[in-house]
A and B are shown apart, each in its own frame.
Chain A
Amino acid sequence: MKLAHRMHAGPAHIGTPRVASPFKNVHATTHAPLGDDHFNVMRPMPERDRDFTPVTASIVDRHVLARGSQDKVVENTTRKGKEERPDPIAPTPTCTPSILQEDPQNFACRASVTSDSDVTPADANHHRVDELQAADRTLEQVVRYHLNKAHGQGTLGRSLSNIPTANTIGISTLGLHNQHDCRESKRSSRDIGTGVNQIIPEGGLVGNLQNLPRAWFNPVPHREVGLLTAAYSDEEFGMPYISTTPMGILDTADCTRQMQECVGKWAPVFTNLSVDYEPYIDQQTRSVSQAAWFSRSIDCQNLTGKRAVILGDATHAAAMTKILAREMGIRVCCAGTYCKHDAGRFHERVRGFRDEILVTDDHTEVGDMIARAEPSAIFGTQTERHVGKRLDTPCGVISSPVHIQNFPLGYRPYLGYEGTNQIADLVYNSFTLGMEDHLLDLFGGHDTEAVTELSLVPMEKDLIWNPESQLELSKIPKFVRGKIKGKTEKFARQNGITNITVGVMHAARESFGA
Chain B
Amino acid sequence: MLMKGPETITFERETGNYHTPCPISRVARSHQKIEDSFSLVVGTKTCGYFLQNAPGVMIFAEPRHAMAELEEGDTSAQLNDHGELKRLRPQTVGDRDPSVIIWIGTCTTEIIKMDLEGMAPRMETEVGIPIVVARANGPDYASTQGEDTVLAAMAHRCPEHSGVDEWNRPARLRLEGSPNPPEETNPPLVLSGSLPSMVASQPSSESKRQSVRVAGWLPARRYTDLPSLGAGVYACGVNPFLSRTATTLMRRRKCRLIGAPFPIGPDGTRAWIEKICSVFGIRPRGLREREDAVWEGLKDYLGSVRGKSVFSMGDNLLEVSPARSPIRCEMIVYEVGIPYMDKRYQAAESALSQETSRDMCIPMPRVVEKPDNHDQIQRMRESQPDLAITGMANANPLEARGIDTKWSIEFTFAPIHGFANARDVLQPVTRSLRRSNVGNLGRYG
Contacts and interface: CB of A to CB of B under 8 A. Distances in A.
Nearest to B141: A34
Given A1-B74, A41-B393, A386 B111 contact: no
Q: Which of B53, B79, B108 has the most CB of A within 10 A?
A: B53
Given A4-B48, A10-B45, A44-B393, A61 B111 contact: no
B96 interface: no
A3 B45 CA distance: 11
Interface stretch (A45-53, A281-289, A341-349, A419-427): A45-53
B60 interface: yes
Interface of B is mostly: helix
18 contacts: A1-B88, A2-B69, A5-B67, A7-B48, A32-B138, A34-B141, A35-B20, A38-B22, A38-B49, A40-B19, A44-B392, A45-B392, A49-B396, A49-B397, A57-B17, A76-B17, A95-B46, A389-B60
Given A1-B88, A34-B16, A96-B107, A7 B391 contact: no
Contacts of A389: 60
B300 interface: no
Interface residues of B, number: 60
Contacts of A436: none
Contacts of A44: 392-397
Contact of B49 (A7, A49, A61): A7
B299 to A, nearest CB: 35
CB-based closest 4 A-B pairs: A35-B22, A33-B138, A50-B400, A40-B393
B210 interface: no
Contacts, number: 156
Given A10-B45, A45-B396, A95-B108, A1 B16 contact: no
Contacts of B16: 34, 59, 61
Given A37-B393, A95-B108, A65 B46 contact: no
A196 interface: no
Contacts of A52: 377, 393-394, 397
A44 B75 CA distance: 33
B396 A36 contact: no
A443 B350 CA distance: 68
Nearest to B378: A83
Contact of A48 (B19, B84, B87, B396): B396
B322 interface: no
A35 B138 contact: yes
Interface in B96-144: 107-108, 110-112, 137-143
B139 A61 contact: yes
A3 B397 contact: no
A40 B66 CA distance: 24
Given A4-B66, A37-B393, 19 more contacts: A1-B74, A2-B68, A3-B67, A3-B68, A4-B67, A5-B66, A34-B16, A35-B23, A38-B53, A38-B54, A44-B393, A44-B395, A49-B396, A50-B396, A51-B400, A59-B17, A62-B140, A94-B46, A96-B111
B52 A53 contact: no
B25 to A, nearest CB: 8
B170 to A, nearest CB: 49
A390 to B, nearest CB: 8
Given A5-B63, A99-B111, A100-B111, A36 B139 contact: no
A11 B396 contact: no
A42 interface: yes
A340 interface: no
B120 to A, nearest CB: 16
B46 A1 contact: no
A36 B138 CA distance: 8
B226 interface: no
A99 B71 contact: no
A221 to B, nearest CB: 25
